[in-house]
Amino acid sequence: MLDALSQAIDSAFSWPVVWYLIAGVFIGYLVGALPGMNRTTAIALLLPFTVELSPLVALSFLIGINKGGAAGSAVSAILINVPGEPSSVVTTLDGYPMTRQGKAGKALQIGLIASVIGDLFATIVLILLTAPLAKIALGTGPIELSALLVFTMTFIAAASGTSFYKGILSGLMGLLLATVGLDPETGLPRLTFGYLELQDGIPLLAVAIGTLALAEIFAQTDMGKHGSYDRQPPSASSKLDDRLSWIEFKAISPAILKGSLVGIGVGILPGLGATLSSFLGYNWVKRTSKTPELFGAGAPEGVAASESADNASVPGSLVPVFAIGLPGSLSTALLMGAFMMHGITPGPFLLRDDSVLVYGIFIAMMMASLVLLVVGYVGQRFFSKIILVGDRVILPIIVFFCFMGAYLESGSMFSVFLMLGFAVAGYLMKKFNYSFVTFVVGYVLGPMAELSFRQAAILSDGNPIALLDHPFAILFLVLAIFSAWRLIKWNTEALAQTDANAKSRV
């Protein structure tokens, strides 16, 4: 192990890893800060540029984008009351009032420090949890794995939106699309419709860029003319109010800790996402505060709680990827896709077979937390200005990058037009509230799911009674039913509450 660790340190501190990590965090921060753009879009767009890189460099770059995006989204939330990403909606509640009070610099510093601490804390938890969980996962067979996949998909579908059926249908569509290509057992073409280009399956980037990036742009542009953000961030009223003091830092520390704990917990569970984690973190801190009445009017603890929860959910969501090989969110599904593009299957075997790479990624993740602090602090003024650039300039360029991303994977226009088709599908999914998370997770997990279902069917000879010999599989199936029932009930109650609130406002 020490030998692997020393090799991992050597490779993680090499110049390519460090440069790409810095570039990733910077791009992520920039994308996170720009309203309307998000880290998932950035990862999908930049995935093709990582194909030629070594796995460690590529994954460090993509993880850097993920971490930078989570932190950068606070900038526009605090300065112009427009969240860079949905997960920063909560940050606007106290961040923007602080800006209006002339404490923009302080709010940005709180957001940054909370993000860095939350991220670092969660990365340490990830490192500590991965090995023991992977050891347990190594003991599971195809029947248990199939049941675990059923649990994951059901849980994500139930948690991801207003309708369980829409969530599960999206996931099934993802799984069905993954069957296109050659049959794993016989090598015969399946659902290729005579296209040679489809024999290797539908390209991941066409699916990811189409549904996540181009569809998002379609959804943003269907309102017609766009503009730039008119509101200028107010400058600080005095130097004293623009900096975070040590006493203030000590005061917000418990909020950061609580937010981080919530972020890790929510991140580990599949499908819940960073938005929910920042809401829960904020609510916990507000409920336990001695001055809850200050929340919503510029409480620094509010910014600290939501930002630490948002960032802690990023490494938290990587725990199931490294330990079991199951992604629970869009960005982790794309990261898993990046692993697969490099011929690596994440999961318990990866830690056993290529521990140097896993330790290298862990070290790069720790470095990314520090890079985040430097990029956020040094670039504060730059990011404050860049968010005022209008989407009339940014969105056309992103469309061009979508084209490039799809083209570069296969070197043919077939992928580009396939991506366009997925963009139309993604637009309609967005408009009719179908879950992207279950769709992409289903697509990425498709080959693994098929393999484990086939093995399970052969091992059990197609007899469901064989399940009785596998208590863990039964446990996962019971959990799937129970969690789906609880989450559907919870969603229904939340909808009824929203409806009642809307009526009372009228």
Partner 1 sequence: MRKADFLGSLIWLGFGLSMLFSIIPMHVESGRWYGLSPHFYPQLISTLIVVFALLMLVSCVLKPDRYKGQTLDLNWNRFFQFIVFLSTVSIGFVLIAHFGTLIGAPLLIAAIALLMGERSWVKIVATATAPVILAYLLVRYVLGTSLP
Q: Which residues bind partner 1 (CB under 8 A)?
A: 49, 52, 162-163, 165-166, 168-169, 172-173, 175-176, 179, 183, 185-186, 188-193, 214, 218, 221-227, 390-393, 395-397, 399-401, 403-404, 407-408, 411, 413, 416-417, 420, 423-424, 427, 430-433, 450, 453-454, 457-458, 492, 495-496, 498-499, 502
CB closer to partner 1 out of 55 and 105: 55
Q: Which of 384, 30, 28 is nearest to 231 (CA)?
A: 384
* Planar angle of CA 114, 380, 57, nearest 5 degrees: 75
Which whole-number Å values give the CA distances from 12 to 53, 360, 367, in the listed order?
A: 14, 5, 9
CB closer to partner 1 out of 71 and 341: 341
CB closer to partner 1 out of 139 and 411: 411
CB closer to partner 1 out of 251 and 496: 496
Q: Which of 311, 318, 330 is nearest to 358 (CA)?
A: 318
CB closer to partner 1 out of 112 and 204: 204
CB closer to partner 1 out of 304 and 338: 338
- E-strand ranges in 142-300 read 181-182, 189-190
CB closer to partner 1 out of 183 and 469: 183
Tokens of 351: 């830690």
In whole angstroms, what is the distance from residue 160 CA to residue 66 CA? 20
- CA dihedral 212→213→219→220, nearest 10 degrees, is 140
Q: How many CA atoms lie within 13 A of 182 on its CB side?
A: 9
CB of 402 to partner 1, least distance (A): 9
**DSSP letter string, 349-418:** HHHHH-HHHHHHHHHHHHHHHHHHHHHHHHTHHHHHHHTTS-HHHHHHHHHHHHHHHHHHHHSSHHHHHH
Question: Exposed e or buried b for every residue in 74-84, given b needs 16+ CB within 10 A?
Answer: bbbbbbbbbbb
CB of 208 to partner 1, least distance (A): 17
CB of 408 to partner 1, least distance (A): 7
User: 3-state class of 182 per DSSP?
Assistant: strand
Tokens of 145: 């794995």
CB of 172 to partner 1, least distance (A): 5
Pair 402, 41: CB distance under 8 Å: no
CB closer to partner 1 out of 135 and 431: 431
In whole angstroms, what is the distance from residue 74 CA to residue 80 CA? 10
HEC per residue, 2-53: HHHHHHHHHHHCCHHHHHHHHHHHHHHHHHHHCCCCCHHHHHHHHHHHHCCC
CB of 399 to partner 1, least distance (A): 6
CB of 377 to partner 1, least distance (A): 28
Q: Which of 239, 233, 228 is nearest to 100 (CA)?
A: 233
CB closer to partner 1 out of 228 and 235: 228
CB of 243 to partner 1, least distance (A): 36
CB of 346 to partner 1, least distance (A): 22
Angle between helix 104-138 and helix 55-80 axes, rounded to 10 deg:
140
CB of 211 to partner 1, least distance (A): 14
CB of 109 to partner 1, least distance (A): 32
- CA dihedral 442→444→445→450, nearest 10 degrees, is 90
- 161: DSSP letter: S
CB closer to partner 1 out of 15 and 193: 193
CB of 196 to partner 1, least distance (A): 14
CB closer to partner 1 out of 126 and 394: 394
CB closer to partner 1 out of 179 and 380: 179
CB of 266 to partner 1, least distance (A): 24
User: 3-state class of 290 per DSSP?
Assistant: coil
